Amino acid sequence: SRPSGVTWSPDGTRLFTRAVRHDRTWTAWDPVTGKRLYELLPTGFVADNEWKMMPDLFFINGGKEMVAGLEKSEKTERVGSKELLVFDATTGKPLRRLGDPLPKERFQWAIPIAVEPDGSSVVMQVYTVSGPPGMPGGGAAMIDTVQEYTFHTTRWDPVKNESIREWEVTGHRVDTVRRFGRFTVGLGVDQGDYNNKEKTLRPAKMRCYSLSDGKLAHEWTTGFAGLEADRVQGNFLLTTGYNRKWITRGNTLSFAAQPPFACDLWDISTGQGVRVSETDRQATVVLGPRGQYILRVRDDGSVEVYEPFVLKKAVATVSAAARPQQFEFAPDGGRVAVSLADTSVVVWDTAPWRTAIDAAVAKEIPADLGPLWNDLGADAPTGLRAARLLAAAGDRGLALLKAKVTARQPPAAERIVRLIADLDAPGFGTREKAEADLRELGSTAGPFLQRALKAGPSAEAAKRLEKLMAALATHKLSPAEVRELRAVLVLEWQGTPAAHELLAEWAKGDAAAVLTRAAKGIGR
């Protein structure tokens, strides 16, 4: 049976699979020899055979131990009670329970989506489903016709058996993307009203929620009624967007996806996207490490390696013995495990195509890097192309950024107060410039704007203050902040000691500044 789950250990020495029709356990393999190492079995913790392993494995205590979810039911995955077991990552031996079993009624329709590295808490995503009027009950099988489909997320202390924090994810569907990178987010997708066949579907909205505190981190509108998300790699998320309509075939009515299928690569931090392709048929697309390339399964089952920023074309093709179904990259990005339709798993070395991409991109580096600095603050296709070229330029690109970007210092309170006062100045030009300067300051001006609004300003000043606060609430970035985020991306892509040294300098700036927060996030 082909694996429904493929997971690497943090050190890349073991590969874990969980089969579609034999999902009682996870199996550990040596990715070099293909030798079966062990299976995760709850020996000594479960008295009977009525159990299944839940999707996903979580590594704790520096990768020495694993947490696997167990469901006490053989007939269905989401009826029996659940508990979490800790296994030795080297031997697969069951070690202990991670706290008490989860309360059955509360977590009957739930899956774990994160576990703290020390095992102190687990994030559970709980599904609440109800049917349309006139339809009793409700359930997962009604996903395309549900009236209400709510996702409640709980950070749970398994030892104290109590909730630490709870939040709801807004949207008709929520994807828990397989890899989160440093953006530990849940993706809430609002895909419009499927129940009303006469109504035009709203464009899907992508909402990213922090798994640490449940706050909405990012939100943007995609322009499509339907959306499928692949995974997060670094700053980036890969999606396939399409429209849908009701199709009648004989006596069957279905809500079918319609071409074209648009593949977009989204820069999460800015909410801007790069169109990768539009095709008449939906294909499997996979985002490579740090978002630097995309794997796309072709009609003949081969896989093309596509560079999305500079070359905008396939640079290599890899053949497979059977059609690839799933891909999972090793933690260092040097290998990718591929589950094939013939039930086998192959491990590919990514070095050949990464080398080919780097060589081709290097030929596009201009002699004068100056214009690339200005391009960093432009739209996504232009700005991300500039970032990729500056990263490829090595020491030259690093020197340019070192000269252009310094750690953000907290703005002088006197200046912000003066700018806020100028929002009510007699001259229109003065008011416009003050608003532009405050917008440029971004989140660092937030507390001052809030206090000014509470002080009861004039109608003109209030209007401008509200506009600035709305921009902050929607995470709208200034051009300078966009440029700084992409400067951080350049250094992340370079990954050299000198690049990390410069990032460390930028991370010492104003804690509220976008540049500081982004620089601190690298490596987490």
What are the pLDDT digits (tens) for 381-390? 999 999 999 9
DSSP state at residue 412 = P
More confident residue, 410 or 312: 312
Q: How far apart are the first and last CA of the chain?
A: 35
What crossing angle do the helices spanning 459-473 and 428-441 adopt, rounded to 10°?
A: 20
Burial readout 140-164 (b: 16 or more C-beta within 10 A, e: otherwise) = eebeeebeebbbbbbbbebeeeeee
Judged on CB neighbours under 10 Å (0-12, 13-18, 19+), 66 is: buried
Percentage of the chain beyond pLDDT 90 is 49
pLDDT at 192 over 80: no
Work out the average pLDDT over 233-242: 88
Work out the average pLDDT over 309-335: 94
pLDDT band at 56 (very low <50, low <70, confident <90, very high): confident
pLDDT at 138: 30
Closest CA to 501 of 486, 523, 475: 523
Give whole-number Cα distances, 93 to 40, 65, 73, 88, in Å.
Answer: 7, 10, 22, 5
Question: At which residue do the structure tokens 């051009």 appear?
Answer: 479
pTM of structure? 0.83
| Count of CA atoms in the C-beta half-sphere (13 A) of 476 | 11
pLDDT at 404: 96
pLDDT at 265 over 80: yes
pLDDT digits (tens, 9 = 90+) for 110-139: 888 888 899 999 988 777 655 444 333 332
pLDDT at 180 over 50: no
pLDDT at 377 over 80: yes
What is the rounded average pLDDT for all residues in the chain?
A: 84
User: 481 in helix, strand or coil?
Assistant: helix
pLDDT at 147: 36
Closest CA to 460 of 430, 435, 423: 423
| Cα–Cα distance measured from residue 257 to residue 244, given in angstroms and rounded to the nearest whole number | 4
Q: How far is residue 420 CA from its own chain's centroid?
A: 37
Work out the average pLDDT over 174-187: 48
**Of 200-214, 228-242, 465-479, the least confident:** 200-214
User: 179 in helix, strand or coil?
Assistant: coil
Is 22 within 8 Å of 1 (Cβ atoms)?
yes
pLDDT at 145 over 60: no
Contact partners, residue 79, CB within 8 Å, separation at least 6? 73, 108
More confident residue, 62 or 186: 62
Diameter over CA atoms, the chain:
80
